[in-house]
Structure 1
Amino acid sequence: MVPCIFLLLIGVPLAGAMESSIIGGKEVKRHSRPYMASIQCRNHHTCGGMLIREDYVLTAAHCLNRSDFSSRDHFEVVLGAHNIKNKEKTEQRIPVIKYIRHPMFERNNEKDYSYDIMLLKLKKKAKLNKYVKVMPLPKKNGKTPANVKCSIAGWGSKTANGNEISDVMREVSLKLQQDSKCKIWWQQYFDSERMICSVSDGKHAFFKGDSGSPLICNTKPQGIASYTIKDDCTNTTYPQVYLKISYFLNWIKKNIK
């Protein structure tokens, strides 16, 4: 029996207990990840994302739930930030004017998380500098082998219980898991064509609020954080799942033209 999935779903600031978190990680060097975006609603961090063009951010589709549609005018992307609680001189805060979720993500009120991908069009172009940069997408739909060490970054809690809140960006290193093992454990929830996964060592993981953050492998973005096991992100059996960015290259390019 597959356990209840905790889909890292945070769209509005009503769910105060749902904070972003990198478990077992460390604070990143300031502005060492200039492509990172904090997606916020009414100044509350909800998800991570990645700047892929001056006017587009890539994130997870479930970061905007249907219940959030009434709040969508309040969504902003914050770029160039390290401490999201402080208004830093390097930060750029830009409203979101268009949400492009993959059309296969939700059909007939059913959600398919193997299409958990979304583009956010910004109201104006970001000003590129040493604090804000575009992350190039992978060039083709290739296969990233298992056991490769990757990393993911985000903002918020440093522990799974949420008692140690961090306002600065933190990062953690994770190893990719074999697709066959991901399929064994997640069964119909895992599609090896469109997904990849990592396995926790019991101490390191991504968790609530890190949805949409990019998984970086060999300096290239390979995945978008999608889901992990509910209330047990450091579970060493059930892998953490990401959308495979390279699979969606044509869809991304088509929509940002």
Structure 2
Amino acid sequence: MTRHLLALLLFLIILPPRYGCTEIIGGHVVSPHSWPYMAAIQRKNLTVCGGALVERQWVLTAAHCDWFRIRRTSTNKYVRTLSLPDSYEDTKPGTMCKVAGWGVTSSGKPSKYLQETTLKIVDRKTCQRKYKKYTKITSNMLCALGKKLYSKRDGDSGGPLICADRYSGIVSFGKGKRCGRRDMPGVYTRLTEKYIDWIKKIISLDRDP
């Protein structure tokens, strides 16, 4: 018998979006059912964060998205879980990635449909030069830049960063006044060995005996 009537949100303690820029601009509507693990975290029918269904009752998202309760889900051919990475190698610069969300689009309004865009990982030294004194880019972060006009805001925060078909990071933040600039990378929390081990431990403790 499950210990909880309501499903739990797994909130990874990650960097808050201090610059308020965590939305997709310049993306396109996804193909139907191409993101079967994507979760929309809503408040009053408004999507405020994204997340990834990592088990039937666990959504992995950003720490600041922890205001909500969700119902237990059921998996089918359209709803599937996203596996946590089973290796801990750093994602190399130049690796192609994708990200999706329902955040505000170039029209200035939240998207009614799930949007996605492609990105390329940039090295941390380059990323640090862009952010300068605003924040320190550490090995627990990934930086990615899109070829098209791209940025991200609250509606996309917490969503998964998929690199080379691997769950590699979580949407974190960008630099507010420069949101959408082609030369300004977004910052993502990297799923490191320490984080993944902790996540797996928390999930295992909540499983039925």
Query: Which category of TM-score, normalised to the shorter sequence, fits these structures?
Result: 0.7 to 0.9
Confirm or deny: 8 A CA contact 1:174 1:200 kept in the other structure.
yes
Select 1:58's aligned residue among 57, 60, 68: 60
The count of aligned residue pairs is: 186
After superposition, the Cα gap between the structure-2 partners of 1:183 and 1:232, relative to the gap in structure 1 and judged at 3 Å, is closer
CA separation in 1, counterparts of 2:39 and 2:108?
Answer: 21
Shift of 1:147: 1.3
Partner of 1:41: 43
CA separation in 2, counterparts of 1:5 and 1:33?
Answer: 27
Partner of 1:209: 155
Select 1:198's aligned residue among 144, 147, 150: 144
User: What SS does the aligned partner of 1:206 have?
Assistant: coil
Shift of 1:156: 3.9
User: What SS does the aligned partner of 1:254 have?
Assistant: helix
- Which residue identity does 1:182 align to in structure 2? C
Confirm or deny: 8 A CA contact 2:128 2:137 kept in the other structure.
yes
Shift of 1:135: 0.3
What are the equivalent positions in structure 2 for 1:109-148 lying under 5 Å apart? 124=72, 126-148=73-95
Q: Which runs of 4+ in 1 moved over 3 A?
A: none
- RMSD (Å) for aligned C-alpha atoms: 2.2
Select 1:7's aligned residue among 20, 37, 60: 20
User: What SS does the aligned partner of 1:7 have?
Assistant: coil
Partner of 1:173: 118
What are the equivalent positions in structure 2 for 1:154-169 lying under 5 Å apart? 154-159=101-106, 162-163=108-109, 165-169=110-114
Q: Give aligned-pair identity as a percent.
A: 35
Structure 2 portions without partners, runs of 5+: 1-16, 205-209
User: What SS does the aligned partner of 1:140 have?
Assistant: coil
User: What SS does the aligned partner of 2:100 have?
Assistant: strand
After superposition, the Cα gap between the structure-2 partners of 1:200 and 1:233, relative to the gap in structure 1 and judged at 3 Å, is farther
Shift of 1:140: 2.2
- Which residue identity does 2:169 align to in structure 1? G
For residues 99-121 of structure 1, give each alpha carbon's deviation from its aligned partner in whole angstroms, at most 9, with x where no partner exists.
xxxxxxxxxxxxxxxxxxxxxxx
For residues 119-152 of structure 1, give each alpha carbon's deviation from its aligned partner in whole angstroms, at most 9, with x where no partner exists.
xxxxx3x211011100001112211111111110
CA separation in 2, counterparts of 1:149 and 1:227?
Answer: 19
Greater per-residue strand proportion: 1
